[in-house]
Amino acid sequence: MRCSTLPVVTSSEHLTTVGADYDAMAQAYTAFAGEAFAGRPLNHVLVEAFAGLVRQAGGGPVADVGCGPGHVTRYLQDRGVDAFGVDLSPQLVALAREASPGIRFDVGDMGALDVTSGSLAGVLANYSLIHTPPDVLPATLAELSRVLAPGGYLLAAFPALDAAGATAEPWDHKVSPAWRYSLDHVIGLLRQTGVHEVAHMVIAPGEDQVRGFPQAHLLGRKTDDTDRTDRTDRTDRTDR
Ligand X SMILES: C[S@@+](CC[C@H](N)C(=O)[O-])C[C@H]1O[C@@H](n2cnc3c(N)ncnc32)[C@H](O)[C@@H]1O
Nearest to 99 by CA among 62, 64, 138, 73: 73
The least distance separating ligand X from the CB of residue 156, rounded to whole angstroms, comes to 10
Looking at beta carbons only, is 112 or 163 nearer to ligand X?
112
Helix, strand or coil, per DSSP, at residue 216: strand
Binding to ligand X in span 47-66, by CB under 6 A: 65-66
Looking at beta carbons only, is 141 or 187 nearer to ligand X?
141
**Candidate segments 5-13, 15-23, 75-83, 190-198, binder of ligand X by CB under 6 A:** 15-23
Q: How many residues of this chain bind ligand X (CB under 6 A)?
A: 23
The least distance separating ligand X from the CB of residue 195, rounded to whole angstroms, comes to 18
Looking at beta carbons only, is 158 or 221 nearer to ligand X?
158
Q: Which residue among 9, 51, 62, 72 contacts ligand X (CB under 6 A)? A: 72
Nearest to 67 by CA among 9, 39, 28, 26: 26
Query: Interface mask (CB under 6 A) for ligand X, residues 77-116, using x and -?
Result: ---------xxxx--x----------------xxx-----
Looking at beta carbons only, is 201 or 240 nearer to ligand X?
201
Helix H, strand E, coil C: the string for the chain is CCCCCCCCCCHHHHHHHHHHHHHHCHHHHHHHHHHHHHCCHHHHHHHHHHHHHHHHCCCCEEEEECCCCCHHHHHHHHCCCEEEEEECCHHHHHHHHHHCCCCCEEECCCCCCCCCCCCEEEEEEECCHHHCCCCCHHHHHHHHHHHEEEEEEEEEEEEECCCCCCCEEEECCCCCCEEEECHHHHHHHHHHCCEEEEEEEEECHHHCCCCCCCEEEEEEEECCCCCCCCCCCHHHCCCC
The least distance separating ligand X from the CB of residue 176, rounded to whole angstroms, comes to 7
Interface with ligand X, residue 158, by CB under 6 A = no
Binding to ligand X in span 26-45, by CB under 6 A: 33, 37
Looking at beta carbons only, is 136 or 195 nearer to ligand X?
136
**Candidate segments 123-131, 143-151, 184-192, 197-205, binder of ligand X by CB under 6 A:** 123-131
Interface residues with ligand X (CB under 6 A) are 15, 18, 22, 33, 37, 65-68, 72, 86-89, 92, 109-111, 126-128, 130-131
